[in-house]
Amino acid sequence: MSRALFVILIGFGGAAILISLGIWQVQRLSWKEGILADINARIEAPAQALPARPDPNTDAYLPVEVIGALEGPTLRVLVSQKDEGAGYRLISAMDTGARRVLVDRGFIPTAADMPALPAGPVTITGNLQWPQETDSFTPAPDRDGNIWFARDVPVMAETLETEPVLIVARALSEGAGAVTPLPVDTARIPNDHLQYAITWFSLAAIWLAMSFYFLRRRAKPES
């Protein structure tokens, strides 16, 4: 086999592999956009009553409306907002009369005072969520300083003596305190398949250009 034919085979073979990877990422992009559309539709659906036994797999993002009293200590989860800077998510226990669940009330800046819990019943509309925010690198919560570094639903539920169910508030009735809700959305679900596709297609173009350049250089002495 001549060197020129070998370069042609390697050039077109490598480009074909890179192009196929780019096409696969385009297909993945379509798949991910479908999933995000389904999640958004679920998030924005009409609120319903809290299920008797919420399931993390089937009830994730389910919109619910609950009425009850916020009580007990409030846990602070350290977060950062693009326009606000550092602050805390406030996680409180809600007693609905028949059960106790966790409520992510929303955000306050680190410099703000902890808002007092309302004295009477409040209505909260939000979405069920079981965020996966902890890993082996997540620091343990500073319980003395009341600073948590992730929303660890099972541990928080044990701390506040509630069910391991978290409602992330979208709207709070008047009197629920000076807190800015941070509702559930799909903004933090990664969807980088378009960038990956562009990368693979760009590499395929570069691979072909380099192969063509090498062939031309080999052809010049012969001409």
Position 167 in a domain? yes
Whether the CB-CB separation of 74 and 91 falls below 8 Å is answered with yes
Answer whether 0.85 is exceeded by the pTM: no
Position 44 in a domain? no
Position 141 in a domain? yes
Angle, alpha carbons 189-181-155 (nearest 5°):
70
Q: Is the pLDDT of residue 89 over 90?
A: yes
Give the amino acid at 197: A
- What's the total number of domains in the chain? 2
113 shares its domain with 34: no
- Residue 223: the pLDDT is 46
Task: Provide the pLDDT confidence category of residue 158 given band limits of 50, 70 and 90.
Answer: very high
Task: Provide the pLDDT confidence category of residue 133 given band limits of 50, 70 and 90.
Answer: confident
The per-residue DSSP string of the chain comes to --HHHHHHHHHHHHHHHHHHHHHHHHHHHHHHHHHHHHHHHHHTSPPBPPPSS--TTTSTT-EEEEEEEEEEEEEEEEEEETTTEEEEEEEEEEE-SS-EEEEEEEEEETTSPPPPPPSS-EEEEEEE-------TTSPPPBTTTTBBSS--HHHHHHHHT--S-EEEEEEE-TTS-S-B-----STTS---HHHHHHHHHHHHHHHHHHHHHHHHHHHHHH-
94 shares its domain with 165: yes
The parent domain of residue 210 ranges over 3-39+190-222
126 shares its domain with 202: no
- Residue 61: the pLDDT is 92
Q: What is the mean pLDDT of the chain?
A: 88
Q: Which residue has the higher pLDDT, 215 or 98?
A: 98
164 shares its domain with 197: no
164 shares its domain with 194: no
- Residue 222: the pLDDT is 52
83 shares its domain with 150: yes
- Residue 136: the pLDDT is 85
Q: What's the average model confidence in pLDDT over 132-150?
A: 92
Distance CA 10, CA 186 (A): 42
Position 125 in a domain? yes
Q: What's the average model confidence in pLDDT over 108-123?
A: 88
> Dihedral (C-alpha) 50, 53, 57, 60: value to the nearest 10 degrees?
10
